[in-house]
């Protein structure tokens, strides 16, 4: 069986930065186990399998896999695949079916091999639990307890489909100094999520509001260069505890600098009467490689 695939870099305008993504086409007949094996073979943070949509008005169904598990939703696979399908089909509105719901991505072509996509979250972010104690979080991140917190924000667990422990730290120097204590990670983060999104107010980029780093426990504890689902969760915390006025607010999250893969995630929230009524994620993507995947028939 030959399956065409494309590699893109997402949340960036430049190749070899941002977050890499594999998109595999013609995958309707793949069983879950084979998709999981292929995702493990690519060994990227996520691999997307494009399948025929259940609704004929939609463009595709997306199955999203990490090297170890399937996800109901993820930001950089949605942005990257939307850009790719828009380039291939010459369309601007890309309707995608994901486990979290139907997503309509609005796209713009920037070249033959690159574009931009933005979409409203099908599931608004909400607080789903309490974070571990600040002292325990600080130890797991190689920080001091007084490094935790910024601008009155405190750690909490939020989810827009994928839960994250959101951890504000006092400044960008503290964010850059994080050194993970891998031993005991699972015992500290033993609640609704073992995924940690550390963030602070950006100081060194005038265009960005937030600087962030993501640490995701799968088979191992790894850093992720750009995490749209975490930025989506962060929209919930910021809407409730940072943004003070109603209306539409656009902001940018920078991530991946410490990994040498700078990324820029565009986020948007809308508040009405103090409540979050809309949240969205967007960004750029660019094609890096294309090829064929050879797999044995199942």
How many other β-carbons are positioned within 10 Å of the β-carbon of residue 161? 21
Q: Please report the pLDDT score of residue 205 as a whole number.
A: 82
Q: Please report the pLDDT score of residue 252 as a whole number.
A: 98
CA 180 to chain centroid: 20
Q: Please report the pLDDT score of residue 246 as a whole number.
A: 97
Q: Mean pLDDT over residues 123-151, rounded? A: 97
Q: Is the pLDDT of residue 220 over 90?
A: no
Q: Please report the pLDDT score of residue 298 as a whole number.
A: 67
- Active site amino acids: 46
Q: Which pLDDT band holds residue 250 (cuts at 50, 70, 90)?
A: very high
Q: Is the pLDDT of residue 290 over 90?
A: yes
Q: Is the pLDDT of residue 239 over 80?
A: yes
Q: Is the pLDDT of residue 218 over 80?
A: no
Which domains does the chain carry? 2-119+284-294 (3.10.310.10), 126-283 (3.10.310.10)
pLDDT in tens, 2-50: 999 999 999 999 999 999 999 999 999 999 999 999 999 999 999 999 9
pLDDT in tens, 167-190: 999 999 999 999 999 899 999 999
Q: pLDDT > 70: what percent of the chain? A: 100
Q: Is the pLDDT of residue 206 over 90?
A: no
pTM for the model stands at 0.96
Q: Mean pLDDT over residues 145-167, rounded? A: 97
Q: Which pLDDT band holds residue 230 (cuts at 50, 70, 90)?
A: very high
Q: Please report the pLDDT score of residue 110 as a whole number.
A: 98
pLDDT in tens, 80-97: 999 999 999 999 999 999
Q: pLDDT > 90: what percent of the chain? A: 94
């Amino acid at each position: 069986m030959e399956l065409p695939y494309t590699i893109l870099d997402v949340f960036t305008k430049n190749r070899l930065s941002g977050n890499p993504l594999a998109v595999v086409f013609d995958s309707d007949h793949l069983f879950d186990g084979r998709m999981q094996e292929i995702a493990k073979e690519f060994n990227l943070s996520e691999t997307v399998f494009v399948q025929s949509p259940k609704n004929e008005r939609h463009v595709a169904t997306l199955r999203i896999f990490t090297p170890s598990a399937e996800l109901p939703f993820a930001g950089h696979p949605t942005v990257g695949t939307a850009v790719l399908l828009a380039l291939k089909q010459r369309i601007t509105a890309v309707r995608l079916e994901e486990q979290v719901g139907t997503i309509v991505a609005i796209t713009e072509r920037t070249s033959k091999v690159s574009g931009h996509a933005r979409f409203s979250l099908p599931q608004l972010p909400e607080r789903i639990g309490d974070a571990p104690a600040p002292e325990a979080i600080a130890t797991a991140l190689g920080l001091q307890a007084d490094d935790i917190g910024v601008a009155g924000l405190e750690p909490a667990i939020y989810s827009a489909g994928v839960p994250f422990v959101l951890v504000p730290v006092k400044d960008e120097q503290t964010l850059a100094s994080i050194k993970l204590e891998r031993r005991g990670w699972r015992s500290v983060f033993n609640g609704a999520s073992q995924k940690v999104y550390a963030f602070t107010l950006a100081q060194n980029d005038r265009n960005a509001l937030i600087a962030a780093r993501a640490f995701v426990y799968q088979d191992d504890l790894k850093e992720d260069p750009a995490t749209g689902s975490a930025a989506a969760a962060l929209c919930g915390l910021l809407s409730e505890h940072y943004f003070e006025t109603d209306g539409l607010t656009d902001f940018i999250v920078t991530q991946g600098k410490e990994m040498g893969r700078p990324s820029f995630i565009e986020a948007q929230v809308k508040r009405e009467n103090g409540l979050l009524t809309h949240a969205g994620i967007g960004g750029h993507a660019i094609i890096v490689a294309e090829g064929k995947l050879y797999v044995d028939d199942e």
